[in-house]
Amino acid sequence: MDYISLYKHFFTSKDNGKEVYESRFNSPSTIRFKITNKDYPFFVIINNEILRLTEQIYSLNSQIIKMVYADNRIPGIVVHWIIHHILIEEIRMTNEIEGVSSTRKEIKELLETTPPKHYKRLFGLVSKYSQLINNVSIDINDPIDIRKLYDSSMLKDIEKENPENIPDGEVFRKEAVEVDSGGKAIHTGINPESHIIQTMAEALNILNDEKLSLLVRVAVFHYLFGFIHPFYDGNGRMSRFISSAYLKKELDNLCALQLSVSCKMNQKQYYNSFQITNDIRNKGDLTYFVISFLEIILSGLNALKESIEEKISHYFYYRKIIFGLKSINSKHNALLDVLLQCTLFDTDNLTVEQLVQITDHSKATIKKWLSNAEIQPFLVIDRSKRQYRYALNLEAIDHFIEESTPDQN
């Protein structure tokens, strides 16, 4: 980042950054907001760094869309698995950032289950994220909408973990709250509740202001949600979900659901940008946070693109080998191809029933193929459950290729 925060200027300039503040606050490129940090109205400068990052994010979004959806060689089930894998990681990471434990297996099972009759941990949050990939539009227009979203996504979990953290005001919390780091209070959420409601309403006006760039208003709202801190618990998970829901309006599912993964990858930068912007010596300048937030998104998209590229490359490499195996007929090749897709892109191995659904062959046929002596060496079989689960043994294929390749010496 080239931009220097006013917090840093406070310590490095003779006038504690007053001249820089006046110049920035009164710049023609500055957007000023009604919400304040003490006596300082929040503002953001739409500078070249923000414009460049915005352009790079949209460019990467287009590249990822083209890479995943436009290549006719990639089976539809692979696209489905890629999206599901990313969704599971996003939910896992948003929990992990807040110290809430969740496993891939646990999340996957919740994604595949119907609404439970009794309480099931994390079901609310998982079902809300599931709505995003199923193209359910989530619009938040007033503070009541945020409370409804909170109640449906995490209230039951909060109540189970610690009933004292249930919101006790008309909409949000009634009492004061502090954000701690290392046992030290680093931020105090605003108070009283009437001020929380009023400020959140103004923050939502910013989020829904279509005159502003979507990426900028999402970044600004993301910060303001943390600054307001409307709940006793769950603020981070709630703000990241809302941010993803709005990013999805202009970015693909794959990219919108990379936010928590990106924040976890860059957790120090993520927290540091909050801490610097919260400090009164930063004088309400949100530009540093917006740039940092966009950098974090960009970093996550670069990592996502590299990961998908690598897996797709591996898929085509192993697929060529599979269909080149002369000892295996074409039907068995097709089965191994499905198992290859699962191994590279899914979070779990496949049961016989799942293979039946994917291949459109009978259960008896699939079982017969799986027991074939020619393909058995290339299978990974998980016998730990009643229903065996199958994947492809990539190491066995690599070993087979090594053994089949003539020694050049």
Residue set of the binding site for ATP: 233-240, 270-271, 282
Q: Which of 229, 314, 332, 399 is catalytic?
A: 229
CA separation for the pair 81, 344 (Å, rounded): 9
Q: Any catalytic annotation for residue 229?
A: yes
Q: Following DSSP, what letter does each residue of 51-109 receive, concatenated?
A: HHHHHHHHHHHHHHHHHHHS-TTS-HHHHHHHHHHHHHHHHHHHHHHTT----HHHHHH
d(CA 108, CA 113): 9
Instruction: Judge whether 86 and 254 are in contact, CB under 8 Å.
Output: yes
Q: Residue 306 has which token pair?
A: 């590299």
User: Quick check: 239 and 224 in contact, CB under 8 A?
Assistant: no
Distance CA 85, CA 79 (A): 10
Q: Rounded distance, CA 294 to CA 300, Å? A: 10
Tokens representing 221 are: 């709202």
Residue 385 has a CB neighbour count (10 Å cut-off) of 8
Alpha-carbon distance 305 to 269, whole Å?
Answer: 21
Beta strands in 94-214 (DSSP E): 178-181, 184-188
Q: Residue 117 corresponds to which amino acid?
A: K
- Active site positions, annotated: 229
